[in-house]
């Protein structure tokens, strides 16, 4: 039985076999001298909703959310911080007495990852793949930081159009466009400076490439950021490297969004170097 003084944190998502957050967060808790544990709870949407209806009984002090729960959680929270409200997605929840407060640390993680990679966003043309919780955070961050243009492509077109409308409404003077088909995708790829994949395509076996090779621009270099991570590069990263584009996977974003979550839960500065080392070790062992 867990001692009352032991802090319990966790991660909800589906699937979760790929997640390296427990290794990173447990290393942070040990280094900070905080008696606690961070656990992974694999729950599909139906079981997660059942759990949320009984959320007052949860013994968790805080938790993270990943695919597909970042939007599902919203109506069950007592308060939501301004960034999460603007983005429309929550990936970090903190218990405050009997209340649950939602935050979005994906925006911070996304921007810090690009900053570490030395990429300046202001004035850039960008193409975003996806329209879920992670894509919402990326779209918000990109326009907030002054990209010249944001194009959004999503296989479910209605969700892509809706995200465009939301971002355009939030930033009326921004240039946000919906990419409707392969022809427009090819044109967007040719014109873009930064390609961001915020879909979970890299988590599963892909019989078809995320972007067919015929659509990649010739004679132009693109910075390719795939939010997925792992010991082996995703199909998108492998293709981009073969075509000599600069690439970045989601490891650094995971590190920084996790560090910010740790600070929200504990009120302590995150031991970033320790978390980075634990994450790298976990990735190499996965």
149-153 vs 176-178, strand pairing mode: parallel
Instruction: Please tell me whether 197 is known to bind a ligand.
Output: no
How far apart (Å, rounded) are the C-alpha atoms in residues 38 and 7? 9
Instruction: Please tell me whether 221 is known to bind a ligand.
Output: no
State the sign of the Cα–Cα–Cα–Cα dihedral 153, 143, 249, 64.
negative
Question: Pseudo-torsion of CA 210, 186, 184, 169, nearest 10°?
Answer: 70
Instruction: Please tell me whether 141 is known to bind a ligand.
Output: no
Instruction: Please tell me whether 25 is known to bind a ligand.
Output: no
Q: Which of 15, 20, 65, 42 is nearest to 231 (CA)?
A: 20
Instruction: Please tell me whether 19 is known to bind a ligand.
Output: yes
How far apart (Å, rounded) are the C-alpha atoms in residues 273 and 98? 33
How far apart (Å, rounded) are the C-alpha atoms in residues 109 and 214? 32
Which residue among the candidates 7, 57, 70, 277 is catalytic per the annotation?
Answer: 70
Q: Which of 249, 244, 240, 256 is nearest to 202 (CA)?
A: 249
CB atoms within 10 A of CB 56: 8
Instruction: Please tell me whether 227 is known to bind a ligand.
Output: yes
Active site residue 70: yes
Instruction: Please tell me whether 250 is known to bind a ligand.
Output: yes
Instruction: Return phi, psi of residue 201, to 5°.
Output: -55, -35
Instruction: Please tell me whether 72 is known to bind a ligand.
Output: no
Instruction: Please tell me whether 257 is known to bind a ligand.
Output: yes
State the sign of the Cα–Cα–Cα–Cα dihedral 159, 162, 168, 170.
negative
Instruction: Please tell me whether 40 is known to bind a ligand.
Output: no
Instruction: Please tell me whether 20 is known to bind a ligand.
Output: yes
Instruction: Please tell me whether 24 is known to bind a ligand.
Output: no
Structure tokens, 144: 């907030």
Instruction: Please tell me whether 33 is known to bind a ligand.
Output: no
Instruction: Please tell me whether 133 is known to bind a ligand.
Output: yes
How far apart (Å, rounded) are the C-alpha atoms in residues 137 and 92? 13
Pick out the residues of the known binding site for shikimate: 19-21, 66, 91, 106, 229, 257
**What residues form the annotated binding site for NADP(+)?**
130-134, 154-159, 227, 250
What residues are annotated to the active site?
A: 70
* Binding site members: 19-21, 66, 91, 106, 130-134, 154-159, 227, 229, 250, 257
């Amino acid at each position: 039985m867990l001692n009352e003084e032991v802090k319990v944190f966790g991660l909800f998502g589906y699937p979760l076999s790929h997640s390296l957050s427990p290794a990173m967060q447990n290393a942070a808790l040990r280094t900070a001298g905080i008696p606690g544990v961070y656990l992974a709870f694999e729950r599909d949407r139906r079981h997660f909703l059942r759990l949320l209806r009984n959320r007052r009984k949860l013994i968790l002090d805080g938790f993270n959310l990943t695919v597909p729960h970042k939007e599902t959680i919203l109506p069950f929270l007592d308060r939501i911080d301004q960034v999460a409200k603007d983005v429309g997605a929550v990936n970090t929840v903190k218990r405050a007495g009997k209340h649950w407060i939602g935050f979005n640390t994906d925006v911070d993680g996304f921007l810090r990852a690009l900053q570490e990679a030395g990429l300046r966003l202001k004035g850039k043309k960008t193409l975003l793949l996806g329209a879920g919780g992670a894509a919402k955070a990326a779209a918000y961050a990109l326009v907030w930081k002054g990209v010249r243009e944001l194009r959004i492509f999503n296989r479910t077109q209605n969700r892509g159009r809706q995200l465009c409308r939301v971002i355009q409404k939030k930033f009326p003077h921004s240039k946000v466009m919906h990419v409707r088909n392969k022809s427009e995708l090819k044109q967007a790829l040719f014109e873009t400076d930064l390609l961001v994949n915020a879909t979970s395509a890299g988590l599963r076996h892909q019989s078809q490439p995320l972007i067919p090779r015929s659509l990649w621009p010739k004679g132009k270099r693109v910075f390719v950021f795939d939010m997925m991570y792992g010991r082996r590069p995703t199909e998108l990263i492998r293709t981009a490297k073969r075509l000599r584009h600069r690439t970045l996977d989601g490891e650094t974003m995971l590190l920084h969004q996790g560090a910010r979550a740790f600070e929200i839960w504990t009120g302590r500065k995150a031991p970033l170097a320790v978390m980075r080392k634990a994450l790298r070790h976990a990735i190499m062992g996965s």
